[in-house]
Amino acid sequence: MNFLKKIFFGFVIIIAIPLIATLFISKEVNYEKSIVINAPLETVWNNVNSLSAMDTWCPWNDYDPNMKKEMTGVDGTVGAMESWESDVEQVGKGSQTLANIQAPYLIETDLKFYTPYESEAKAYIKLAEEINGVKVTWGFNSKMPYPFNLMKLWMNMGEMMDNDWNTGLNKLKVLCEMQH
């Protein structure tokens, strides 16, 4: 009987320590990536100022060029929404809604993912004029619910996102510089 108590308390401790530690781990998830594009601000803005414009350089289209998409509202205005659905896990099912537009420097969207994991995020694209072109910063902010924020201890958001975001930003750069 004493042996079973020790096993039980050992098991409780193994479960309790990570759950308690998770209380002290931030739930915030923030990621952003920047690139400088050698093109006028207007050219870059025209390639990020609507959902259809962003769709031309979206890196996730490469995973499933046949995904189902639906647009509602007036694209390029607050409230416009694009929904997508794909059987490819990297794409999944979700929607993106234009939430804030401050031409020609900022566009913000609300993202909702339904599959493969349910989550929400606020995404943004910021433009800033520089001497050698336009700095484009693409990012998002989200929260991981408790106790899933424990995954932040061994999950590197940069490693997970870098490939897709570099692909998208480089496609945007080529597109804008070709139009210039």
CB 138 within 8 A of CB 161: no
The pLDDT value recorded for residue 15 is 74
End-to-end CA distance of the chain: 79
Which residues have C-beta within 8 Å of that of residue 162, sequence separation ≥ 6? 33
pLDDT (average), residues 55-74: 95
Q: How confident is the model at residue 19 (pLDDT cuts 50, 70, 90)?
A: low
Q: For the segment 79-98, what is each residue's pLDDT rounded down to a tens digit?
A: 999 999 999 998 999 999 99
Domain 27-179: CATH class, spelled out? alpha beta
